[in-house]
Amino acid sequence: MAGYGSDEEPKIISTGQPEVNKKLGGGIPAGSLILVEGQSDAGKSVLCQQITWGSLNNDTKVVMFSTENTIKSLVAQMDSLGLGILHHLLMGNLKIYPIRSSDIAGDPEEVFTKILGCVEKLPEFELFIIDSLTPIVTRSSGDVVLNYFEQCKSFCDQERTIMNVVHTYAFEQDFLVRTRSVCDAHLRVLIEKVGDKLVKTLEVCKIRGATQNTGNILSFDVEPQVGIKIMPMSRAKA
């Protein structure tokens, strides 16, 4: 892989959206363990879908685990945002694994095991996105969750990139602090009230190894056939 023990440019995880990439310091370095956390309906899934689309178009093979969508509904949802992925799915550069609520209710620890087993068995894939961990985390003990993140970290040391998406409320505060510290990149998505408007905000809390300076706050909206649309701060504050 480019960037490991070579003079080539380090490989990055790209969103395909120049302004978002800029805030991410040019993109998240491949091999990172990423935590995306935030409120309900703040845009966590859309951010993951944008990163999936951008990565696929940057020749990065992606695996998506979804507790919220089937393959058909995820393809349709992304297509409605102008983030077409069907051809990548048909070409084998994208795999989508829905996670059923019955599986989580039965044995959440086994779900973690299956996710990690998939990462191990697909070495040709570089980016793994789990959207979202919330229903699994809320049914698991702290030790099980922490062990999962530690095993994710060991795969990232082998040049995989793993993005875990979770609602902030899924963790107790002390445990959330520990989880954030394990991760190489931490992104937080919020809904803030500015004047009489609700604004989606991406906060770049940290990205270890970014090739450029990272930004801090990015306001955005989600529009059909556009996906993430950056809002100028002056407009966001209006």
As a whole number of Å, the CA-based R_g of the chain is: 17
pLDDT in tens, 131-180: 999 999 999 988 999 999 999 999 999 999 999 999 999 988 888 888 99
What's the predicted TM-score (pTM) here?
A: 0.90
- Percent of the chain surpassing pLDDT 90: 63
63 lies in which domain range?
A: 12-236
What distance in Å separates the CA atoms of residue 227 and residue 108, rounded to the nearest whole number?
Answer: 32
Asked whether residue 2 is assigned to any structural domain, the reply reads no
pLDDT value for 8: 63
Asked whether residue 4 is assigned to any structural domain, the reply reads no
Asked whether residue 6 is assigned to any structural domain, the reply reads no
Please indicate whether residue 231 or residue 109 has the higher confidence score (pLDDT): 109
Q: What DSSP element (H or E) covers 206?
A: strand 197-207
CATH number at residue 86: 3.40.50.300
- For the segment 45-55, the average pLDDT, to the nearest whole number, is 95
Cβ partners under 8 Å of residue 81, min gap 6: 46, 49, 222, 223, 224, 225, 226, 227
Least confident range from 80-89, 132-141, 161-170, 196-205: namely 196-205
User: Which residues share a beta bridge with 161?
Assistant: 127
Asked whether residue 61 is assigned to any structural domain, the reply reads yes
- For the segment 38-55, the average pLDDT, to the nearest whole number, is 93
pLDDT value for 232: 75
Q: Give the chain's domain count.
A: 1
Asked whether residue 5 is assigned to any structural domain, the reply reads no
Asked whether residue 191 is assigned to any structural domain, the reply reads yes
Asked if residue 211 has pLDDT above 90, the reply is no
Q: How confident is the model at residue 233 (pLDDT cuts 50, 70, 90)?
A: low
- For the segment 91-111, the average pLDDT, to the nearest whole number, is 93
What distance in Å separates the CA atoms of residue 2 and residue 173, rounded to the nearest whole number?
Answer: 37
CA-to-CA dists, residue 62 to 54, 105, 111, 231, angstroms: 10, 26, 19, 28
